[in-house]
Amino acid sequence: MSSHGNISASSDNAPLACDFCSHRLQPRYTPDRSTRGLTVHVCPHCGLVQSGPRVARTKDRHKAAVSGGADWGNVRYGKGFRTGAAMDALARHVDLNSTFSLLDVGSNRGSFARALLDAAPQAALTALEPDERFAQSVGTLARTRLVQARIEDMAFADASFDIVHSCHTIEHLASPFTTLRDHARILKHGGLLVIDAPNIALIGGDDIVEEWFIDKHLYHFSARTLSRMITAAGFSILEQVDSADPINLLFVARKTGRAAAPAAADLAEVEQADRLLALYQQARARNLAALTHAACELAALTPRKVALWGAGRLFDLLVTEGGFNPHQLSLLIDSHLKQHMDNRHGVKLDAPEALRQTPPDTIIVMSRGFAAEITAEAKRLAPGADIILYSDLLSRARLQCAA
């Protein structure tokens, strides 16, 4: 098992400055399995958590992979899960039957683009997507202009758009604050920003086991730090994040055009960031140690037929850290990953319908955020199977560790 929570210097040995307030950052944590040698820092002035070094982007394409460590590969499918929330937010602030122009930053496979065009018959869409593998997913859509580039490299004209939509993109950027200010520049007077990002609050959960600070994410926002940055970039926030959602930060804001005030000190946010990082490292170390017991519990189910639903990051750690032998499974189910790879750890991936063809005795739901939905579907497809949730499996494993 690899070591967890060590601190190392940035690879270029240059001190990092906060993107928001320019204060010198303080290193706090080194992520597991980082291929970029990242270190997680906390700004001692505003509390924004950010990773460095901020290396230059390359055009190299890596093989599709899903890891429980920081080296999580380039399988990009999470944006599609946020389309419904973005469309609902947009509908609360815009007449979708009116004429408007929208910039979709990081269109990916076009889930949001298609939903918007279906719901807004007069909308004109500019889809920005740098990855040529996905860009053509929106290139042929009606009322759509495809721009194959990174947002940092674009210089759209002033007041070009009525709306800017950005979903799980800002955390990848070298300078989010610069980009937010540019969003304000290219929006018309009173224009809307709909922005969605990962919520660092997730690392405060006691069941966290995967490495949250992945190589592709340079900024790690709380509701407080992202709202302050949005406001300072020249926006007035109309809709705050859902306090019940520990996974995502969704804001709707209107362009004000007012000059940004200097970022004031926020010592409470600094303390909260340090507290979260400490809790995260403790919980993750405890849960990683428990995975061996979880793997033993699953191995003991033999010779019963066992299906596991959820072949992502939790499954990866069950195998790599817990020592679970995935070949003991009768089925490995993951409807999303199946679209991007044939197998995981040498075991063939199947779609959920395979549960009808090969009914299992037990189904392991290896998911946190979608456990309820998966459980309901699993019961429909294999009504006779017992269901074991990741949360329950981990709880029992931790009790065994403590015994």
Question: Residue 331's domain is classified under what CATH number?
Answer: 3.40.50.720
Range of the domain at 395: 288-402
Q: What is the pTM of this model?
A: 0.91
Q: Are residues 259 and 364 in the same domain?
A: no
Q: Are residues 314 and 245 in the same domain?
A: no
Q: Are residues 355 and 246 in the same domain?
A: no
Which residues have CB under 8 Å from 371's CB, separation 6+? 365, 389, 390, 391
Residue 282 lies in a domain: no
Residue 270 lies in a domain: no
Helical spans, DSSP H, in 321-389: 354-357, 371-381
Mean predicted lDDT score pLDDT of the chain: 91
Q: Are residues 249 and 393 in the same domain?
A: no
Measured between alpha carbons, how far is 292 from 320 in angstroms, rounded to an integer? Answer: 10
In this prediction, residue 65 carries a pLDDT of: 72
Q: Are residues 314 and 246 in the same domain?
A: no
CB 333 within 8 A of CB 351: yes
Measured between alpha carbons, how far is 220 from 230 in angstroms, rounded to an integer? Answer: 14
Q: Are residues 248 and 353 in the same domain?
A: no
- Please name every residue paired with 29 in a beta bridge, in sequence order, or none if there are none: 40
The least confident of 8-22, 193-207, 369-383 is 8-22
Q: Output the 3-class SS for 180-239.
A: HHHHHHHEEEEEEEEEEEECHHHHHCCCCCCCCCCCCCCEECCHHHHHHHHHHCCEEEEE
Measured between alpha carbons, how far is 266 from 46 in angstroms, rounded to an integer? Answer: 5
Q: Are residues 299 and 214 in the same domain?
A: no
The residue among 264, 266, 237 whose CA lies nearest residue 251 is 237
CA atoms within 13 A on the CB side of 83: 19
DSSP string, 278-326: HHHHHHHHHHHHHHHHHHHHHHTTTTS-EEEE--SHHHHHHHHTT---G
Q: How many CB atoms lie within 10 A of CB 350?
A: 20
Q: Are residues 192 and 295 in the same domain?
A: no
Q: Which residue matches tokens 């990174």?
A: 150
Q: How many CB atoms lie within 10 A of CB 371?
A: 18
The residue among 350, 325, 346 whose CA lies nearest residue 337 is 350
Say how many domains are in the chain. 2
Residue 151 has pLDDT above 90, yes or no: yes
Please report, for residues 167, 199, 204, 272, 316, the alpha-carbon distance to residue 321 in angstroms, rounded to integers and kept in the order given.
32, 25, 21, 29, 8
Q: What is the mean pLDDT of residues 227-252?
A: 92
Q: How many CB atoms lie within 10 A of CB 283?
A: 18
Residue 399 has pLDDT above 80, yes or no: yes
Q: What is the mean pLDDT of residues 279-284?
A: 97
Give percent of the chain above pLDDT 70.
92
In this prediction, residue 261 carries a pLDDT of: 80
In this prediction, residue 11 carries a pLDDT of: 44
- Please name every residue paired with 220 in a beta bridge, in sequence order, or none if there are none: 49
* Residue 6's pLDDT band (cuts 50, 70, 90): very low
Residue 45 lies in a domain: yes
Q: Are residues 160 and 64 in the same domain?
A: yes
Q: Are residues 33 and 151 in the same domain?
A: yes
Omega into 326 within 30° of 0, i.e. cis? no
* Segment 297-346, tens digit of pLDDT: 999 998 999 999 999 999 999 999 999 999 999 999 999 899 889 999 99
CB 50 within 8 A of CB 41: yes
Measured between alpha carbons, how far is 385 from 375 in angstroms, rounded to an integer? Answer: 11
CB 152 within 8 A of CB 106: no
Question: Residue 156's domain is classified under what CATH number?
Answer: 3.40.50.150
Q: Output b/e per residue, 218-245; b: 16+ Cβ within 10 A.
A: bbbbbbbbbbbbbbbbbbebeeebeeee
Q: Are residues 26 and 158 in the same domain?
A: yes
- Please name every residue paired with 385 in a beta bridge, in sequence order, or none if there are none: none
